[in-house]
Structure 1
Amino acid sequence: MITKMGWDANQIRRYIMEDAAIKRIHPQQFDVAHFKRAVIEAHNRYRRLHGTNDLSQDGACEIAAKRWADSVSRQSACLTHEPQQRFGESLFFYSTLQPLISDPETMAEATVRTFYIEGRDYRRSARWVASRHGHFTQMLWRDTNRIGIGVSIIPQPAGWGCMPPGRGQAWIFYVVLRYDPPGNRVISERSFDENVLPVENKDIQAVQCLAT
């Protein structure tokens, strides 16, 4: 894990910005294939902390994820889920006025950690958790065993849609993740107890994150 990244959404995005200024990778030079592998590795690292099986890459999930990433990254709404689709779904984006992005490992950890920190106030056997902890519960859902990652990296006018305010051109890094079978759709105490397991491997950082 990247210890300096922090365990807060604002800290994570600030770390990306600062790290991008150092590594100076142009968005068009970003290694998407490396990023996808790193996203799966990050998922599985967190899942192992909870005694949960690994995810494997799935072609059908990836095709669906890429199609929606290409579509939603061009929309004015920032986080729009695709309606009526059979996979579980999580979304992440990073936008910047500078044509700079961090490396695939850092962007993968930032993406997955943003989902994981939703679990800091998660309580098992609570019926209301799905709306507040959807990304966290999906990434750990035990019955889910396949994942697909779609990435869209495109320029957009500054100040439009998800872009930061300013003039000229901005860049958006948009990630769609699809999970199969989907998790957290059956809202019952038993389903969450059986599929979102407590921390088993006592990783200090993860335990501290979920305890805050």
Structure 2
Amino acid sequence: MFAKTITKRAIQALVLVGAASTAPLVSRDRDDFNEKMLEVTNWYRAQHGANPVSWDDGLADYATNYAKTCPMGHSDTPYGESVVVGDKWTSSGCWANVFGHERIYFDFDNGGPASNTGHFTQLVWKDTTRMGCGWAQCSDGFHVVCEYLNVGNVSGDNNRYYRENVGRQVSGNANDEYLG
């Protein structure tokens, strides 16, 4: 069977988080950021029947170093990757909520890649077991990058990998966001 990994190049959906966010301002402490990103990620994963992921400091270092380049797209990473840019710092949970919110666009009946759901599908990809994120303040705002192992968004075999790895929502509602 042939599988083509769709990570950076095919899914270039760069999400912009604007000033309209209502999330409260919080500390930019890296430990708080790491804890909240992991917590929110695992909240979404639980809603879609995926096991929790663990934090990986090596992936977080990679993500932080890439964020410091102030990227406007994906790196040439061997990992699954999500990139988001916002002009204001909001709660760390807001960044992961941006990824999770894409679930309202995902076609659970047919699966498969789409330019507006790649962050969500990587977030809840069942084969993913580790993640690490980083951020940097740049001239155009805050750049947040998350790296994931095992890589998600694997295409091929008539979208079988999506059907196996992106579960339907088993709790909550599609428009729910993590507020904790």
Give your verdict on TM over 0.5: yes
Runs of 4+ in 1 over 6 A off after TM superposition: 9-12
Is 2:78 the partner of 1:89?
no
Whether contact under 8 Å (1:65, 1:176) holds in the other structure is yes
Percentage of pairs with the same residue: 26
Q: Give the aligned partner of residue 143 of structure 2.
A: 174
Deviations 1:21-52 (A, max 9, x none): xxxx6xxx621210111000000011101111
Deviation at 1:13, TM superposition (A): 4.3
Whether contact under 8 Å (1:12, 1:110) holds in the other structure is no
Deviations 1:129-186 (A, max 9, x none): 34331001000000001001111124x2xxxxxx3xxxxxxxx221110000110123
Aligned length in residues? 162
* Cα gap change, 1:190 to 1:61, in 2 (>3 Å): same
Give me the whole-angstrom Cα distance separating, in 1, the residues matched to 2:16 and 2:67. 23
Whether contact under 8 Å (1:12, 1:114) holds in the other structure is no
Q: Give the aligned partner of residue 4 of structure 1.
A: none
Q: Give the aligned partner of residue 116 of structure 1.
A: 100
Over the aligned positions, Cα root-mean-square deviation in angstroms equals 2.6
Please list, as runs of the form range in 1=range in 2, the aligned pairs for 1:57-136 lying within 5 A after superposition: 57-71=55-69, 73=70, 79-83=72-76, 85-96=77-88, 101-102=89-90, 107-124=91-108, 126=110, 128-136=112-120
Whether contact under 8 Å (1:65, 1:148) holds in the other structure is yes
Give me the whole-angstrom Cα distance separating, in 1, the residues matched to 2:115 and 2:101. 14
Q: Give the aligned partner of residue 39 of structure 2.
A: 41
Is 2:153 the partner of 1:184?
yes
Q: Give the aligned partner of residue 148 of structure 1.
A: 132
Give me the whole-angstrom Cα distance separating, in 1, the residues matched to 2:17 and 2:87. 15
Q: Give the aligned partner of residue 121 of structure 2.
A: 137
* Cα gap change, 1:12 to 1:153, in 2 (>3 Å): closer
Partner secondary structure for residue 38 of structure 1: helix
Whether contact under 8 Å (2:82, 2:119) holds in the other structure is yes
Q: Give the TM-score of the pair, scaled to structure 2.
A: 0.78
Give me the whole-angstrom Cα distance separating, in 1, the residues matched to 2:28 and 2:134. 14
Larger radius of gyration: 1
Unpaired segments ≥5 residues, structure 1: 1-8, 157-162, 164-171
Whether contact under 8 Å (1:61, 1:178) holds in the other structure is yes
Partner secondary structure for residue 15 of structure 1: coil
Deviations 1:37-77 (A, max 9, x none): 10000000111011110010112211211111111x1x5xx
